[in-house]
Amino acid sequence: MALAAPALRRYLLLLAQEHLEFRLPFASLIFSLFQSPFWILSVPSEEMARGLMKRTVCAKSIFELWGHGRSAGELYASLKNYPMDKMLPYLQSDSTYKVHIHTFNKTLTQAQKIKKIDALEFLPFKGKVNLKKPEHIFWILEDYGMDPNNVPEEPFHLYFGRWIADGQRELIESYSVKKRHFIGNTSMDACLSFIMANHGRVKPNDVVYDPFVGTGGLLISSAHFGAYVCGTDIDYNTIHGLGKASRKNQKWRGPDENIRANLRQYGLEKYYLDALVSDSSRPIWRKGMLFDAIITDPPYGIREATRRMGSQKEIVKSAERSTENHIFVSSSYHLSDIFFDLLKFAAEYLVMGGRLVYWLPIYRPEYTEEIIPRHPCLKLISNCEQMLSSHTSRRLITMEKVKEFKDQDQNSYLLDGQHMPYRGHNSFREKYFSGVTKRIAKEEKDNQK
C-alpha cells in the first residue's frame, strides 16, 4: 500500500521590492500576482521554509499562513476556519507573544494599528504579551496595491500568520561593493551576486568557476555558501591587482588589492582555490567534468573590452604592454563567439546536473527567444531580464547540463544555420551607444526650448 504524501502547508512570503524580474524562476511555487510583494507558497514543512530563507536575498520574511481575505470580514472568517490544533501550541498560557502590523503602500497611525489588533480578540490567546523578546510573533499584513498616487481606504488583501524566519537581506549591506577592498569597473552588485549563486544552486563543497573573474565578486557569493571557488581572466593587471584603481580619489591599486584579499575580508579565504591569467577561448583545463557550477558575467564591450589572445594582421604591431616584463597581443572577441565558447566549455566541463549562469546583453527592439544561445548538452532553466535603458537590457540565463558531452558536440551550434540569429550580439556595443547618442541629442534639444 502506497504511503500518502505529506500535506503541504501554506506559507506567506513577504518579498523585497527590488530586482522584481528575478522572482520569475519561483513562479511555479507561487499563487499570487507577479508584482505583489505577498506570495502564497505551499511548502512541505517549516524546516524547508526556514531553509529557503537561509538562502534568499529577495525575500524579507516568511510566515505560516493562518488566514487571508479581501476584507477584514473575510480574514476573520478564514482565521475561524483554521484548524485549532495547529493554533494551540503557540497560544498556551506559559508562552509569550506579540502582534506586529505591516502595511504595503500605506502608513497607519498607532491608534489604527491598536484597533486592528484588538479586533483579533476572538483568537484564543492565553499567553502574556512581551514586546521585547516574545516566543511567538504574529503578523497582520495588508496590501494597498502598487500605485502610491491612488491609495485605497481599505486594503486589497489582508493576511495573518505566525512569523517563521527572515531572509538574508543583511548580506546585501555586509557584502556591499562600496565597502569591498578590491573593486573594478564592472564589479557585480552584491544582491545580484547572491541571486546568481542561488540560480546556480551552489552548495557546500561545490567547485564553482568564473571564466571572466575580474575582481572576483561572483566568487564571494559562492564562497559564502561554502563552495570552493576559482577563476580566470585575460587581464593580467586585474588578476595581479596592478595598475590604475577604479575607486574614486585613488590613482593606483594598493599592494594587497586582489581577489584573495577580497575573500579574506569576509573570512572566506579557505574557499579560494586560485585565479589565473588565461584566455577563456583557449581552455587550459584537463579533460573531464570539473565544475559543479559556472557563474560569470562576460564582457559586453561597454565598460570592459571583449578580447582574446592572438593577433590580426592589422594590429600585430600594436602589442599591449601590461607590465615591464609582461607583453601580450590581443585581438577582438565577438560577443557571439564569447557565448559559443562559454556554452561549449560548460557542456564539456560541468558535472551532470551542474549549472551555467551568465548574463546576456540584449538590444530590446530585436529581441526574440531564438537569439538565446543553445547547446544540445544544456537545458534552459530560466531567462530573467534586467533593464539597462529603454532600448537595452541584459538577461540572466540559467542552464543545466542534462547530457554528456561527446566529440560530435564540439561544434554543434554550427549545424542547420542555428548560429546565424546570434550574430546580432556582435553589434550590441554600437546599438548601445547609438541609443545613448540619441538620448543626449534629445536632452540637448529639449534644453534649448
pLDDT tens for 418-449 read 554 555 555 666 666 665 555 555 555 555 55
pTM of the model: 0.83
pLDDT in the model for residue 444: 53
How buried is 236 (Cβ within 10 angstroms: 0-12 exposed, 13-18 middle, 19+ buried)? middle
**DSSP output for 117-169:** HHTTTTS---SEE-SSS-SEEEEEEEE--S-TTS--SS-SEEEEEEEEEE-ST
pLDDT in the model for residue 447: 59
State the SS3 of 293-340. Answer: EEEECCCCCCCCCCEEECCCHHHCCCCEEEECCEEECEEECCHHHHHH
| Terminal alpha carbon distance of the chain | 80
pLDDT tens for 347-370 read 999 999 999 999 999 888 888 888
pLDDT in the model for residue 272: 98
pLDDT tens for 275-322 read 999 988 887 899 889 999 999 999 875 544 455 555 544 344 434 444
> Which residue shows C-alpha cell 502608513?
107
pLDDT in the model for residue 282: 83
What average pLDDT is seen over the chain?
84
Any residues with CB less than 8 A from the CB of 211 and at least 6 apart, and which? 231, 232, 233, 280, 294, 296, 342, 345
Low-confidence ranges of the chain (pLDDT < 50): 1-5, 27-33, 303-305, 312-327, 415-417, 420
Sign of CA dihedral 62, 219, 25, 351: negative
The answer to whether residues 400 and 381 touch, using CB atoms and an 8 Å cutoff, is yes
pLDDT in the model for residue 316: 43
